[in-house]
Structure 1
Amino acid sequence: IAALAALTDRALVQALAERKVTAFAMELCPRITRAQSMDILSSQANLAGYKAVLDAAAVFGRGIPMMMTAAGTVAPARFLILGAGVAGLQAIATAKRLGGVVYAFDVRPAVKEQVESLGGKFVEVDPEALKDAETAGGYAREMSEDFKKKQQARIHETLKKTDIAICTALIPGKPAPVLITEEMVKDMRPGSVIVDLAVEAGGNCPLSEFDRVVVKHGVTLVGHGNVPSRIAVDASALFAKNLLNFITPLVDKETKALAFNWDDEILKGTCVTRDGQVVHPALAG
C-alpha cells in the first residue's frame, strides 16, 4: 500500500504482478466522499501549495504586502496561480494571507467560485470551451489545440504584470501541460519568480529544472522535487492518517484479520495488481 505512480511507472506495476504482490496505489483513490480521508493527493498537495508560496517569498527580492510608510508606499506583490486544485487553492489562500494580490487560472469553470471565495480573481479564457473541461472524477481534462492557443495568450498577457507565478497544473497519467513558455518568461518583470510544482511531471514551464533553483532571463525558477517533504513532520502525519483510514475498514472487527471486500469501490479503484495479474482498468492491457 503506497504511492506507486502506477499510471506512469508501468514497469513497476508489471514487476509487482510478476511477483504476485497485491498492490494498492493510493494516488488512484476514487474521488468520493467516503474516500476523502484516505486521499493522499489532497493531503500532500495542500502542504505543497502552502510551501510553494513561502518558497517564492523567500527568493523574491521584494516584500509581499502593501506597506504605507513615511518614506513611501510599497506596492503589493502580484501572484498568478496556475491550476486551482487543492494545491492551487491553498496557494491562493496563503498568498492572500501574506498580503499579495492574487489571480488564478484553471480550465475547470466550477472552481471560479472557490477562487473568488478565497479572495482571488479568476482569469477566464473561453467560457464555452470550458463546459467539458472537467472529468467525472473532478480532474482537469486535456483541452483542444485551439483552446490552448487562447489560454496561452491570456496567460501571457497576465504574466507581464505578475511578480510570482505558482504552477500546479497536472493531468493524471500524462505529462504536465506547458502553460508558461520561454517567450512568456522573457516578458516577465526582472526579479519575478516561478515556482513549478509540476516539475516532477515535466513541468508547467519548460525552463524549470528538477530539484534546482535557477535564474533564466532574469526570472528565478524554483523546481523543488517532493515539496511536501519540505514540511516533513506534517506531511508524514497526514500521510500516515490517510493510510490508517484506508487500512482500518479492511480489518474484521471480530477476528482482527484482513477481510477484503473486492466489490468495494475504493478497493477496486486503488488495487493495481492481484493474483499475478494487473487488474486496474486504467492499466490492464
Structure 2
Amino acid sequence: MRVAVLRERRAAETRVAATPETVKKLGGLGCTVAVEAGAGLSAGIPDAAFRDAGAEIAADPATALAGAGIVLAVRAPEDAELALIPRGALLIGTLGADAAAAKAYAAAGIDACSMELLPRITRAQSMDVLSSQANLAGYRAVIEAAAEFDRGFPMLMTAAGTIPAANVFVMGAGVAGLQAIATARRLGGRVSATDVRPAAKEEIKSLGASFVGHEDEESKAAQTAGGYARQLSAAFYAKQAEVVAAHIAKQDIVVTTALVQGRKAPTLVTEAMVASMKPGSVIVDIAADAGGNVALTRPGEAVTTPGGVKILGHSNWPGRIAAAASALYARNLLTFLTTFWDKDAKAPKLPEGDDIVKGVALTRAGAVVHPSLASA
C-alpha cells in the first residue's frame, strides 16, 4: 500500500501530516511512503529526515500520488492536487466537512475521512485531532500574549520596586482554554476563567484559577452530549456579558477560545469591553478562523486599537507551533489507520457500522455518506 504525503499549500498552513516517526511505523505495517519534497520544512523536518526513516522523496504531487492508496493531509487538497489522487484512494485529513467538497470527492471516486468530525468517545481519544491541536493552540496563545505584553507575567520583586503579576482572563475552558490557564499559571500570572458549561467550573478551579460567570438554570444544560458548548439564549448571554464586562476592564491579558460546533464563533468581547482595557493590554483570539470571539478581531491579523489594546487574531494557531503540532497530528492519523488496519490485506478496512467510521467518513465508493452532507 502506497501512502502519499503532500506539501501543504493552504495559506498559513505550516504543519505536515507525517513525521519520520510515523513514516517508520507505516513502513512496519507494510506500507511504502512517498513524501513530497519540502513537505516538512515549515515544521522543521528536512527531506533527509524523511528519507532516513524510509520514505521516498517525490519531486512533485503527481509523483507522490502515482499509485497511492492512502493520502494523508492536514487540510483539504486544492483542486490541482485533488485531480491527481487515484480513484479508490483513501484521503484522511481535516477536510472541512464541506458539502461541495464532499460531492467533489465522491465524483473523483475518493473515500474521504474528515478527522475533525471524530466523535468524542473514549476509544477515539488517541486519534482526536481537535484535542491535540487545541491543546497546543492554548499553549501558544499564552506564549504569544507574553511576548506582546510589556509588563511581565509573574510578580517581580527588585530593589527598585515590585512589578505586579499580570491579570489573565481565559474565556472558554475546553481543551485550548484549560491549557491556556495552565500555561498562564506556570508563567506566574493571576488567572481567572469563564465557560458556560457547568462542568467547567470545577475544571477551572482544579488548575488554580478563579471562576467568573453568570450561573442559572439555563447554564446547567449548556453542554452537548459530545462535550461541546451548546448555543444558549440571548438573555443568558446578556447576563453573562454584564459579569464579564466588569471583569475584563481589570485584565491585562484576555485569551478567547469559545467555539460552537458548526457555527460562527460567538462574539464574547464587545468593542466597549475592549475600550475598557488599559493601554498595553493584550487580547488573543484563538477563534479567529471561525469569525472570532472579539468584535474587533481581524482574522489573520494582529491589530492595535486606538486605545492601545493589542488584538492577536492570527490564523491557524496550531500551525504557529508547527513541529509539535505536526508530531501530534501525525500520531493521530497513524492511530486511526492502525485501529482499522487489516494485517492480512495490509490495507485499511473501515467498517461502515463503526461509530468512529460513521463519524468521519464523508464519501465511500463514489457516494456522499455522511448524514449531515448526504442530503445537502
TM-score, reference length from structure 1: 0.96
- Choose the corresponding residue for 1:58, options 128, 147, 160: 147
Give distance in 2, aligned partners of 1:19 and 1:254: 28
Distance across 2 between alignment mates of 1:16 and 1:158: 48
Matches of 1:70 and 1:257, distance apart in 2: 67
Shift of 1:130: 0.9
Partner residue in 2 for 1:230: 320
Aligned equivalent of 1:3, options 75, 94, 109: 94
The higher-RCO structure (CA 8 Å, 6+ apart) is 1
SS in 1 for 2:104: helix
- Inter-partner Cα distance in structure 2 for 1:200 and 1:236: 19
Q: CA deviation at 1:114?
A: 1.1
Aligned counterparts, 1:4-19, within 5 A: 4-6=95-97, 9-19=98-108
Paired residue type of 2:273:
M
Is 1:97 the counterpart of 2:153? The answer is no
> Which residue of structure 2 lines up, in the alignment, with residue 43 of structure 1?
132
The equivalent of 1:245 in structure 2 is 335
User: Is 1:81–2:170 an aligned residue pair?
Assistant: yes
User: One-letter code of the match for 1:100?
Assistant: G
What does the per-residue CA deviation read over 1:214-240, in whole Å, with 9 as the maximum and x for residues that have no partner? 101320001111111111111111000
Q: Which of 80, 104, 111 is the matching residue for 1:22?
A: 111
- Deviation string, structure 1 residues 136-171 (Cα, Å, up to 9, x no partner): 100000110100101111111110111100010001
2:308 to 202, 218, 222: 218
> Quick check: 2:145–2:282 contact (8 Å CA) kept in 1?
yes
CA displacement, residues 73-99 of structure 1 (integer Å, 9 cap, x when unaligned): 111100110110000000000000000
1:130 aligns with 2:211: no
- 1:182 maps to amino acid: E
Equivalent-residue separation in structure 1 for 2:364 and 2:192 (angstroms): 45
* AA at the equivalent of 2:94: A
1:273 positional shift: 1.5
Counterpart contact for 1:104–1:123, Cα < 8 Å: yes
Amino acid at match of 2:213: E
1:166 pairs with one of 230, 255, 275 = 255
For residue 347 of structure 2, give the secondary structure of its aligned residue in structure 1: coil
In 1: Cα distance, 2:348 partner to 2:145 partner: 45
Q: Deviations over 1:12-37 (max 9, x none)?
A: 12222222321101000110110000
SS of structure 2 residue aligned to 1:179: coil
Deviation at 1:124, TM superposition (A): 2.4
SS in structure 2 opposite 1:2?
strand
TM-score, normalised to structure 2's length? Answer: 0.73
Secondary structure, in 3 states, of the residue corresponding to 2:137? helix
- Tell me the CA shift for residue 103 of structure 1: 0.7
Note the alpha carbon deviations across 1:167-224, whole angstroms, 9 max, x for none. Answer: 1000111100000011111111111100000000000012111221110132000111
Q: Distance in 2 between matches of 1:228 and 1:270?
A: 21
Q: Which structure 1 segments of 5+ residues have no match? A: none
Corresponding residue for 2:349?
Answer: 259
> 1:284 offset after TM fit, Å?
2.6
Aligned-partner Cα distance in 2 for 1:157–1:13? 45
Query: Structure 1 residue 127: deviation in Å?
Result: 3.2
- What secondary structure, in the 3-state scheme, does the structure 2 residue paired with 1:87 have? helix
Q: By how many angstroms is 1:282 displaced? A: 2.3
Structure with higher Rg: it is: 2
Q: From 207, 218, 233, give the equivalent of 1:118.
A: 207
**Percent of aligned pairs with the same amino acid:** 56
Moved more, 207-216 or 28-37: 207-216
One-letter amino acid of the counterpart of residue 140, structure 1 = A
Indicate which of 103, 112, 123 corresponds to 1:34: 123
Q: Which residue is equivalent to 1:273? A: 363
Secondary structure of 2:183 counterpart: helix
